[in-house]
Structure 1
Amino acid sequence: MQVTRRGVLVGVAAAGGLAALYTLAPRDYAIPLDPADGETAFDAWIKIATDGMVTVAVPQLEMGQGVTTLIPQVVAMELGADWRQIAVQAAPVSGAYANTVLAAEWAPLWMPVAGGLAEDADDFLVRRFAGRERFTATANGTSLAAYEQPCRDAAASVRALLCMAAADRWGVDWEECRTENGFVIHDAERLRFGDLAEEAAGFVPPDPPPVFSKPPADTPAVPSGPGFGEETNAWPRLDLPAKVDGTWQFAGDVRLPGLVYAAIKHGPLDKAELTAFNRSAAADMRGVVGIVEGKRWLAAVAETSWLAERAVEAMSPRFSVMRLVDSEAIAVALSDAELNGTGTVVATRGQGAEGFGKTDLALRYEIAPALHGQIEPTTATAWYRDGTLELWLASQAPEQARRAAAKAAGVALEDTILYPMPAGGSFDRRLEHGHAIEAAVIAREIGRPVQLTWSRFQEHLAGYPRTPASLLLSARHGDEGTITKLKMRASLPATAREFGERLFGNATSWSAIENTAGEADPMALAGAMPPYAIPDVSITHVPAAIDLPTARMRGNAHGYTCFAIESFIDELARRHDRDPLSYRMALLGQDLRLAECMQRASRLAAWDGGSAGSGQGLACHVIGGARIAAIANAQPGEGGVRVKSIHAAVDIGRVVNRDIARQQLEGGLVFGIGLAVGCSTDYRDGLPTSQRLGDLNLPTLADSPEITVDFVDSTLPPADPGEIGVAVAAPAIANALFSATGLRLRRLPLLSAGL
Structure 2
Amino acid sequence: MAISRRAFLKSSAVVGGGLAIGFNLSGCARAQYPHYSAADLQPNAFLQVTPSGEVILQLHKSEMGQGVYTGMATMAAEELNMDPALITVQQAEFHPDFRDPEFYVMITGGSSSIKLNYVIVREAAATVAALLRAAAAEHFSLPESALNLKDGKAVHAGGEVGFAGLIEIARSLPSPKQVTLKSPQDFQYIGHYNKRLDALAKVTGKATFGIDLQYPDALTAVLLRCPQFGGKVQSFDASQALSKSGVKLVIEVDGAVAVLADTYWQARQAAATVKLVWGESPLAGINSDSLRAERHQLLVSEDGKNVEEKGERSAAIGERFDAVYDVPYLAHATMEPMNALAVATAEGIEVWTGNQSPDIALSEIADATGFKREQIRIHNQMLGGGFGRRIMSDYLVEAARIAQLSGRPVKLVWSREDDMRGDFYRPNSTVAMAATIANNEVSSLQAKVVAPSIIGGFVQFVTNSILPQWLPNGLHKKIGGLAADTDPAASEGLVHSDYEFPYMRTDYVMQKTSIPIGYWRSVGHSQNAFFMESFIDELANRTAQDPVMFRLAHLAKDSRRRKVLELAAAKANWGKPPAGQFQGVAVHESFSTVVAQIVNVSVSDFKIKVHKVVCAVECGMAINPDIVIMQMESGIVFGLTAALKGEITVVDGAVQQSNFHDYEILRMNESPEIEVYRVDTAAAPTGVGEPGVPPLAPALANAVFAATGQRLRQLPLRLA
Q: Give the TM-score normalised by structure 1.
A: 0.87
The Cα shift of 1:663 comes to 0.9
Cα–Cα, structure 1 residues 282 and 354, in superposed 2: closer, same or farther, change >3 Å? farther
Cα–Cα, structure 1 residues 604 and 355, in superposed 2: closer, same or farther, change >3 Å? closer
Separation of aligned partners in 2, 1:66 and 1:635: 34
Which residue number in structure 2 is paired with residue 255 of structure 1? Answer: 214
| Aligned partner letter, 2:169 | E
The Cα shift of 1:409 comes to 2.0
| Aligned partner letter, 2:36 | D
Which residue number in structure 2 is paired with residue 159 of structure 1? Answer: 129
The Cα shift of 1:235 comes to 4.2
Contact 1:61 1:422 (C-alpha < 8 Å) held by counterparts:
yes
Separation of aligned partners in 2, 1:670 and 1:284: 46
| Aligned partner letter, 2:305 | T
Cα–Cα, structure 1 residues 243 and 439, in superposed 2: closer, same or farther, change >3 Å? same
1:691-711 Cα deviation digits (max 9, x unpaired):
112211210111111110100
Cα–Cα, structure 1 residues 145 and 32, in superposed 2: closer, same or farther, change >3 Å? farther
The Cα shift of 1:721 comes to 1.2
SS at structure 1 position matched to 2:166: helix
Q: Establish whether residue 92 from structure 1 lines up as the match of residue 58 from structure 2.
A: no
Unpaired stretches in structure 1, ≥5 consecutive residues: 1-12, 104-129, 222-232
Task: Name whichever of 309-318 and 62-71 sits farther off.
Answer: 309-318
Contact 2:224 2:257 (C-alpha < 8 Å) held by counterparts:
yes
1:86-119 Cα deviation digits (max 9, x unpaired):
1101111000112012x2xxxxxxxxxxxxxxxx
Which residue number in structure 2 is paired with residue 184 of structure 1? Answer: 154
The Cα shift of 1:640 comes to 2.6
Separation of aligned partners in 1, 2:185 and 2:247: 57
Separation of aligned partners in 2, 1:705 and 1:479: 40
Which residue number in structure 2 is paired with residue 4 of structure 1? Answer: none
Separation of aligned partners in 2, 1:174 and 1:608: 60
Which residue number in structure 1 is paired with residue 619 of structure 2? Answer: 652
1:7-38 Cα deviation digits (max 9, x unpaired):
xxxxxx9999999955542532323423598x
1:442-499 Cα deviation digits (max 9, x unpaired):
111222211111112221222121111110000012333x322111011112223322
SS at structure 1 position matched to 2:184: coil
Which residue number in structure 1 is paired with residue 468 of structure 2? Answer: none
Which residue number in structure 1 is paired with residue 342 of structure 2? Answer: 382
The Cα shift of 1:359 comes to 4.9
Separation of aligned partners in 2, 1:320 and 1:470: 32
Q: Establish whether residue 320 from structure 1 lines up as the match of residue 279 from structure 2.
A: yes
Which residue number in structure 2 is paired with residue 54 of structure 1? Answer: 55
RMSD: 2.8
Contact 2:430 2:449 (C-alpha < 8 Å) held by counterparts:
yes
Which residue number in structure 1 is paired with residue 243 of structure 2? Answer: 284
Contact 2:342 2:399 (C-alpha < 8 Å) held by counterparts:
yes
Separation of aligned partners in 2, 1:518 and 1:206: 45
Unpaired stretches in structure 2, ≥5 consecutive residues: 1-14, 466-472
The Cα shift of 1:673 comes to 0.8
Contact 2:425 2:518 (C-alpha < 8 Å) held by counterparts:
yes
Tell me which of 377, 386, 391 is aligned to 2:351. 391
SS at structure 2 position matched to 1:346: strand
The Cα shift of 1:614 comes to 4.4
Tell me which of 483, 486, 511 is aligned to 1:544. 511
| Aligned partner letter, 2:490 | A
Which residue number in structure 2 is paired with residue 741 of structure 1? Answer: 708
Contact 2:287 2:651 (C-alpha < 8 Å) held by counterparts:
yes
Separation of aligned partners in 2, 1:752 and 1:181: 58
Task: Name whichever of 627-636 and 181-190 sits farther off.
Answer: 181-190
| Aligned partner letter, 1:234 | Y
| Aligned partner letter, 2:225 | H
Q: Which has the higher contact order (CA 8 A, sep 6+)?
A: 2
SS at structure 2 position matched to 1:696: coil
SS at structure 1 position matched to 2:237: coil
Which residue number in structure 1 is paired with residue 413 of structure 2? Answer: 453
Task: Name whichever of 395-404 and 262-271 sits farther off.
Answer: 262-271
Cα–Cα, structure 1 residues 168 and 219, in superposed 2: closer, same or farther, change >3 Å? closer
The Cα shift of 1:548 comes to 1.7
The Cα shift of 1:513 comes to 12
| Aligned partner letter, 1:30 | Q
Separation of aligned partners in 2, 1:297 and 1:251: 22
Which residue number in structure 2 is paired with residue 147 of structure 1? Answer: 117
Contact 2:447 2:505 (C-alpha < 8 Å) held by counterparts:
yes
Separation of aligned partners in 1, 2:143 and 2:385: 49
Contact 2:598 2:614 (C-alpha < 8 Å) held by counterparts:
yes
Separation of aligned partners in 2, 1:423 and 1:562: 28
| Aligned partner letter, 2:294 | A
Q: State how 1:354-753 maps to structure 2 within 5 Å.
A: 356=316, 359-480=319-440, 482-505=441-464, 515=481, 519-529=485-495, 530-608=497-575, 614-636=581-603, 640-751=607-718
Separation of aligned partners in 1, 2:190 and 2:111: 22
The Cα shift of 1:281 comes to 2.0
Separation of aligned partners in 2, 1:216 and 1:375: 40
Separation of aligned partners in 2, 1:87 and 1:219: 16
| Aligned partner letter, 1:669 | I
Task: Name whichever of 551-560 and 173-182 sits farther off.
Answer: 173-182
The Cα shift of 1:606 comes to 0.8
Contact 1:373 1:679 (C-alpha < 8 Å) held by counterparts:
no
Separation of aligned partners in 2, 1:611 and 1:475: 33
SS at structure 1 position matched to 2:419: helix
| Aligned partner letter, 2:297 | D
Separation of aligned partners in 2, 1:556 and 1:624: 10
Cα–Cα, structure 1 residues 562 and 678, in superposed 2: closer, same or farther, change >3 Å? same
1:369-419 Cα deviation digits (max 9, x unpaired):
111111111101101124321101111110211221122122232221111
Which residue number in structure 2 is paired with residue 112 of structure 1? Answer: none
Cα–Cα, structure 1 residues 67 and 414, in superposed 2: closer, same or farther, change >3 Å? same
Separation of aligned partners in 2, 1:153 and 1:69: 17
Contact 2:222 2:271 (C-alpha < 8 Å) held by counterparts:
yes
Task: Name whichever of 564-573 and 168-177 sits farther off.
Answer: 168-177
| Aligned partner letter, 1:317 | L
The Cα shift of 1:63 comes to 0.5
Cα–Cα, structure 1 residues 27 and 535, in superposed 2: closer, same or farther, change >3 Å? farther
Which residue number in structure 2 is paired with residue 307 of structure 1? Answer: 266
The Cα shift of 1:294 comes to 2.4
Which residue number in structure 2 is paired with residue 198 of structure 1? Answer: 168
Which residue number in structure 1 is paired with residue 140 of structure 2? Answer: 170
Cα–Cα, structure 1 residues 271 and 22, in superposed 2: closer, same or farther, change >3 Å? closer
Task: Name whichever of 15-24 and 149-158 sits farther off.
Answer: 15-24
| Aligned partner letter, 1:202 | S
The Cα shift of 1:49 comes to 3.2
Contact 1:20 1:28 (C-alpha < 8 Å) held by counterparts:
no
Which residue number in structure 2 is paired with residue 69 of structure 1? Answer: 70
SS at structure 2 position matched to 1:619: strand
Separation of aligned partners in 2, 1:471 and 1:502: 28
Which residue number in structure 2 is paired with residue 295 of structure 1? Answer: 254
Q: State how 1:127-142 maps to structure 2 within 5 Å.
A: 130=104, 135-142=105-112
Which residue number in structure 1 is paired with residue 309 of structure 2? Answer: 348
Separation of aligned partners in 1, 2:135 and 2:536: 62
Which residue number in structure 2 is paired with residue 119 of structure 1? Answer: none
The Cα shift of 1:597 comes to 1.1
| Aligned partner letter, 1:74 | M
Cα–Cα, structure 1 residues 515 and 41, in superposed 2: closer, same or farther, change >3 Å? closer
Separation of aligned partners in 1, 2:657 and 2:187: 44
The Cα shift of 1:579 comes to 0.9
SS at structure 2 position matched to 1:563: helix
Separation of aligned partners in 2, 1:85 and 1:20: 19
The Cα shift of 1:502 comes to 4.4
Separation of aligned partners in 2, 1:218 and 1:720: 21
| Aligned partner letter, 2:171 | A
Q: Give the TM-score normalised by structure 2.
A: 0.91
Cα–Cα, structure 1 residues 667 and 571, in superposed 2: closer, same or farther, change >3 Å? same
| Aligned partner letter, 1:214 | P
SS at structure 2 position matched to 1:29: coil
Separation of aligned partners in 2, 1:542 and 1:215: 49
Separation of aligned partners in 1, 2:478 and 2:577: 45
Q: Percent identity?
A: 28
